């Protein structure tokens, strides 16, 4: 006999998140605990946020870290990507002051446990965000950065596997250049 899983409403999830010491994602009535990051994961995220913030400056675009919740309104996914950028006015979920709905860029740092989900089902869910133009995956176990860019109604992928590579991203009116070497600064790969 299978044990029935409790189905949570978004309202129950959000109330639980406000009181929780750790963050969780929510999708279709289920709450999923997020695992902690490794040293490599944290190094990459810190450098990424630094590079994005410096490149965007005081303009209309703003970078957010993994503490910022995103709602994909069309499918009900509440999630905390490793980084996100919003250009222009921030749109919030109805009745919320802590949940953004209009990122132009989302970044996930891949781990062994999230790699397939981030590349597959999660990317499908993210694609329902009308404002999303860029999705970047950064592998923490090898030099590999994947940049998915929306082109008309399709997504084009560019992969970067050398430390000398650089991504060029148009965010609002800014052209942002992210050097792979900077993203992987101090990252230690297993031999």
pLDDT at 5: 74
pLDDT at 113: 87
122 domain residue, yes or no: yes
Rounded Cα gap, residues 124 and 116, in angstroms = 12
Side-chain half-sphere of 59: how many Cα atoms within 13 Å? 17
Domain count, the chain: 1
Rounded Cα gap, residues 2 and 17, in angstroms = 27
Rounded Cα gap, residues 126 and 67, in angstroms = 17
21 domain residue, yes or no: no
110 domain residue, yes or no: yes
Which residue range is the domain that position 173 belongs to?
38-183
16 domain residue, yes or no: no
Which tokens hold the place of 43?
Answer: 């190094």
Bridging pattern class, strands 134-139 and 105-110: parallel
Rounded Cα gap, residues 105 and 79, in angstroms = 14
25 domain residue, yes or no: no
- Per-residue tens of pLDDT for the chain, all 191 residues: 455 578 999 999 999 999 888 889 999 999 998 877 899 999 999 999 999 999 999 999 999 999 999 999 999 999 999 999 999 999 999 999 999 999 999 999 998 888 999 999 999 999 999 999 999 999 999 999 999 999 998 999 999 999 999 999 999 999 999 999 999 999 999 86
What CATH number should be reported for the domain holding residue 43? Answer: 3.90.1570.10
Rounded Cα gap, residues 104 and 181, in angstroms = 24
| Residues 61-114: tens digit of each pLDDT | 999 999 999 999 999 999 999 999 999 999 999 999 999 999 999 999 998 888
47 domain residue, yes or no: yes
12 domain residue, yes or no: no
90 domain residue, yes or no: yes
pLDDT at 106: 98
Is residue 147 a contact partner of residue 165, using CB atoms and an 8 Å limit? no
The answer for 10, left when phi > 0, alpha when psi is -120 to 50, beta otherwise, is alpha
**Residue 175: beta bridge partners?**
170
């Amino acid at each position: 006999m299978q044990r029935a899983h409790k189905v949570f409403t978004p309202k129950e999830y959000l109330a639980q998140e406000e009181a929780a010491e750790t963050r969780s994602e929510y999708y279709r009535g289920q709450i999923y605990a997020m695992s902690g990051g490794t040293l490599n994961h944290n190094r990459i995220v810190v450098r990424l946020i630094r590079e994005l913030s410096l490149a965007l400056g005081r303009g209309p675009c703003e970078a957010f870290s993994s503490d910022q919740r995103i709602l994909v309104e069309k499918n009900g996914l509440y999630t905390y990507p490793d980084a996100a950028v919003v250009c222009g006015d921030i749109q919030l979920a109805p009745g919320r002051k802590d949940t953004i709905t209009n990122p132009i860029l989302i970044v996930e740092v891949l781990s062994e446990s999230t790699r397939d989900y981030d590349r597959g089902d999660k990317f499908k869910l993210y694609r329902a965000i009308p404002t999303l133009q860029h999705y970047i995956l950064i592998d923490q176990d090898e030099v590999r950065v994947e940049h998915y860019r929306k082109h008309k109604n399709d997504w084009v992928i560019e992969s970067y596997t050398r430390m000398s590579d650089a991504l060029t991203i148009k965010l609002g009116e800014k052209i942002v250049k992210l050097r792979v070497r900077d993203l992987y600064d101090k990252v230690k790969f297993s031999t």
